[in-house]
């Protein structure tokens, strides 16, 4: 059986060998190809096997001599080995190029360092294989040529062949492929984007590829985590090559805070280098200066494209907010206890690494909570933010009732004069008198010195009521929350509430004069003649008082107090960081502005009901002026008739001659009364169609029992 098998069942290799021997063209000896293969693995062309000289062609050229050939299976095997050599040359070229390039980022430097370590291990394997080949050629033992009997890199075996060489480099083929892919991606990626690119290769089903990529990413991400640690726990950004996902604006580096007022501890400090900085605030021109909010928003920017995906956008924003908050605490708030805060935050013992993502997320959460809480403490305790917000509520939104009454009574006569007849020093003196004569004197001195009276720019024909305003001055770092845009809104709200308070005062005075003065100064026998018209006047004034009182109750109780409760509840939680604090105050102020000024978006355009309210105010003032004229006419007419009666009794006194008749006064009163009703009906109609529920309820209260709706019906 064995003889027949030897004669009739020869292997294909034996048949091929006999065929080549008959043709007289033997194969190239394997030890020569093995030598060239070792050259190929180092990216060097050999005698029989060479790399293509074309940069676009990555093929291998076989140089066959006339008297010998290279079998096709051997060529396929050499092609596999040549791939490793080609990838090695590609990686080695990238590392050498980056070593000689100026301005290479730290993450890319770390990548090159890890690649170089891999290439060094690769060199060691090549050296061991070359030594084994030399051992085979001289027929000596490994110890004779300086190779340990058991090499740590490769098991030295006798009989080195191309097939065994391919088996030993099978793992390196996968390594070189991964390193080559990283090298190609690194040419177009930078910083965090490069880390992101490498991290994307970890989503691979091959355990070897995933393990190798994890090891590579562990080394490459070390500069990223070093920068992250410094930013997260110290508020310092050390990123000379712009590789981090937080970028600093160099234009903001040398702007310093100048505090116009001493801090709570009595020190007048300035911000240090590298931190959040501000400008001196000239509160006489509050809109013309950079405030703390603009610096807070512009100093550092979040770069989403540089954020590694293993961090996540949510945690990225937390890291960004934590570093900004800690930097703000150190350099803008001059918090001497920031080191204690830093120690509380750094619970990881100073180690942040890629292999511990769960620990990284836990550290980010803890640092964010501690930094946010400390920032709220600094604002509320050191800089008394809540006191300033309360002062704005009490003074700019007329929360101090007795102070407002005192100021209104003292300023009323002056504000009725032309605007060019007012002087600021008189206004400030009156303001100080109103403070001393009311409970406002019990407010903190730091609050009272920030309160001031000023005049807005005026044009010809305006009076003091049109240009007077109160002003509350703030300085860094409080102006980060109470910025110039916010203070402008406070001024707008004050102007409306101040006009509303003015209308209330003149209505009250007119009501007292008509209700009490008419019965006191008009004789009973003449009162019966004028009493009906006076009663109609009192009804209209009562209607106007109802309108004003409902507007005031809506503004102060339903808008200001409810919004204030929401804001103070947020402040007491001390959560969310400075961005959340700024947003909470902005939401609070926007709500006040929209509801108090009755702003209503309609059909893509903003229809301001406040314009109709201002027209009603103007009509009320005109009606009250006509009422005063009517009342004075009644007194004059009664006096004239009394004098005529005295003449019939022989008592002669000077007779007052009146040129105006009663119908002229009553006609103007009816005209203004009808105009008031018409304007009020328009306001109620707009309010009932308002998208805001509180505004709709205001419309219902203004037209209680559908009073204005009935008047609008022509059949009534």
- The confidence score (pLDDT) of residue 652 equals 55
Residues 132 and 216 in one domain: no
Cα–Cα distance between 218 and 198 in angstroms, integer?
A: 10
In a domain, 120, yes or no: yes
Alpha helices, DSSP H, located in 104-221: 106-138, 162-168, 170-186, 192-200, 207-220
Residue range of the domain that includes 682: 502-577+605-715
Average pLDDT along the chain, 716 residues, taken 10 residues at a time: 51 72 67 84 80 66 72 82 88 86 83 89 88 66 45 48 86 89 81 80 79 84 87 85 85 53 40 38 38 77 86 87 86 73 63 76 85 88 93 94 92 89 90 93 93 89 90 90 92 95 93 75 56 83 94 94 95 87 94 90 64 93 89 72 63 54 79 92 89 90 75 46
Report the pLDDT value the prediction gives residue 144, as an integer from 0 to 100: 46
pTM for the complete prediction? 0.75
Look at residue 278 in the predicted model and tell me its pLDDT: 37
Is position 632 within any domain? yes
**Is 214 in the same domain as 83?**
no
Interatomic CA distance for residues 95 and 683, integer angstroms: 76
Same domain, 131 and 230: no
Tokens 């406040």, located at residue = 610
Final residue before a domain boundary, out of 345, 360, 382: 382
The answer on 239 and 295 residing in a single domain is: yes
User: Does residue 322 sit in the same domain as residue 372?
Assistant: yes
Residue 338 in any domain: the answer is: yes
Judge if 125 and 218 occupy the same domain: no
d(CA 428, CA 424): 6
Helices (H), 356-423: 357-377, 385-391, 401-415
Is 355 domain-assigned? yes
**What's the number of CA atoms in the CB half-sphere (13 Å) around residue 425?**
0
DSSP string, 504-552: HHHHHHHHHIIIIIHHHHS-HHHHHHHHHHHHHHHHHHHHHHHHHHHHH
Residue 296 placed within a domain: yes
Task: Evaluate whether residue 92 is within a structural domain.
Answer: yes
Using the 3D structure, point to which of 382, 405, 438 is the last residue of a domain: 382
Helices (H), 562-692: 562-573, 577-596, 610-648, 662-688
Residue 8 lies in a domain: no
Indicate whether 517 and 617 sit together in one domain.
yes
One domain for residues 544 and 621: yes
Residues 519 and 657 in one domain: yes
DSSP H helical segments within 378-400, as ranges?
A: 385-391
Helix (H, G, I), strand (E, B) or coil at 20: helix
Last residue within a domain, chosen from 147, 172, 187: 187
- Whether 39 and 180 share a structural domain: yes
Do residues 663 and 551 both lie within one domain? Answer: yes
In a domain, 440, yes or no: no
The pLDDT score that the predictor gives to residue 170 is 87
Helix, strand, coil in percent for the chain, rounding step 5:
65, 5, 30
Cβ atoms 699, 687 nearer than 8 A: yes
Q: Are residues 175 and 224 in the same domain?
A: no
Please state the domain count of the chain: 3
Is residue 34 within 8 A of residue 47, CB to CB? The reply is no
Backbone CA torsion sign across 164, 167, 168, 173 = positive
């Amino acid at each position: 059986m064995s003889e027949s098998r030897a004669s009739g069942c020869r292997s294909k290799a034996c048949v091929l060998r006999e065929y080549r021997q008959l043709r007289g063209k033997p194969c190239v000896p394997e030890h020569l190809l093995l030598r060239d293969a070792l050259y190929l693995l180092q990216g060097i062309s050999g005698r029989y096997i060479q790399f293509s000289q074309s940069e676009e062609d990555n093929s291998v050229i076989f140089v066959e001599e006339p008297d010998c050939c290279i079998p096709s299976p051997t060529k396929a095997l050499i092609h596999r080995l040549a791939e490793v050599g080609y990838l090695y040359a590609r990686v080695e070229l990238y590392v050498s190029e980056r070593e000689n390039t100026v301005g290479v980022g730290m993450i890319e430097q770390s990548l090159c360092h890890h690649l170089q370590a891999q290439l060094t291990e690769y060199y060691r394997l090549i050296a061991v294989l070359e030594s084994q080949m030399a051992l085979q050629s001289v027929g000596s033992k490994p110890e004779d040529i300086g190779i340990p009997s058991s090499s740590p890199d490769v098991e030295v075996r006798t009989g080195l062949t191309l097939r065994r060489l391919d088996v030993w480099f099978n793992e390196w083929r996968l390594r070189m492929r991964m390193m080559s892919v990283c090298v190609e991606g690194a040419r177009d990626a930078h910083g965090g984007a490069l880390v992101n690119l490498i991290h994307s290769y970890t989503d691979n089903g091959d355990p070897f590829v995933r393990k190798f990529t994890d090891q590579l990413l562990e080394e490459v991400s070390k500069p990223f985590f070093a920068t992250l640690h410094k930013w997260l726990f110290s508020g310092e950004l050390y990123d000379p090559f712009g590789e981090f996902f937080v970028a600093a604006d160099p234009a903001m580096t040398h702007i310093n805070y100048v505090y116009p007022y001493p801090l709570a501890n009595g020190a007048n400090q300035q911000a240090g280098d590298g931190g959040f900085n501000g400008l001196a605030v000239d509160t006489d021109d509050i809109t013309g200066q950079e405030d703390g909010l603009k610096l807070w928003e512009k100093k550092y920017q979040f770069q989403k494209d540089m954020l590694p995906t293993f961090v996540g956008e949510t945690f990225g924003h937390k890291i960004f907010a934590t570093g900004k908050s800690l930097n703000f605490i150190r350099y803008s708030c001059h918090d001497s206890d920031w080191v204690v805060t830093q120690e509380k935050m750094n619970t990881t013992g100073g180690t942040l690494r890629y292999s511990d993502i769960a620990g990284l997320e836990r550290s980010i959460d803890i640092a964010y909570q501690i930094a946010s809480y400390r920032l709220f403490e600094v604002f509320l305790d050191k800089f008394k933010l809540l006191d300033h917000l309360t002062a704005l509520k009490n003074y700019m939104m007329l929360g101090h009732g007795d102070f407002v009454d005192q100021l209104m009574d003292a300023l009323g006569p002056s504000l009725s004069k032309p605007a060019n007849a007012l002087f600021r020093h008189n206004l400030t003196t009156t303001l100080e008198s109103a403070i001393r004569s009311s409970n406002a004197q019990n407010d903190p001195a730091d609050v009272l010195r920030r309160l001031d009276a000023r005049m807005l720019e005026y044009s010809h024909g305006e009076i003091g009521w049109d240009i007077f305003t109160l002003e509350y001055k703030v300085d860094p770092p409080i102006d980060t929350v109470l910025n110039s845009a916010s203070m402008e809104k406070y001024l707008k709200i004050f102007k409306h509430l101040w006009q509303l308070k003015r209308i209330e005062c003149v209505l009250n005075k007119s009501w007292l004069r008509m209700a009490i003065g008419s019965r006191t100064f008009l004789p009973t026998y003449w009162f019966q003649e004028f009493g009906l018209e006076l009663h109609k006047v009192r009804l209209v004034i009562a209607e106007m008082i109802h309108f004003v009182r409902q507007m005031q109750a809506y503004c102060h109780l339903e808008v200001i107090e409810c919004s204030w409760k929401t804001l103070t509840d947020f402040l007491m939680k001390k959560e969310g960081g400075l961005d959340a604090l700024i947003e909470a105050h902005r939401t609070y102020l926007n709500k006040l502005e929209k509801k108090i000024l009755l702003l209503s978006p309609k059909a893509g355009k903003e229809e301001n009901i406040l314009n109709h309210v201002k027209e009603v105010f103007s009509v009320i003032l005109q009606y009250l002026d006509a009422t005063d004229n009517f009342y004075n006419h009644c007194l004059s007419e009664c006096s004239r008739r009394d004098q005529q009666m005295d003449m019939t009794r022989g008592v002669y006194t000077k007779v007052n001659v009146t040129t105006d008749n009663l119908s002229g006064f009553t006609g103007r009163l009816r005209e203004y009364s009808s105009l008031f009703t018409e304007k009020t009906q328009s306001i109620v109609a707009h309010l009932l169609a308002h998208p805001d529920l509180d505004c709709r309820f205001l419309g219902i209260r203004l037209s209680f029992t559908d009073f204005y709706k009935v008047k609008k019906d022509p059949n009534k």
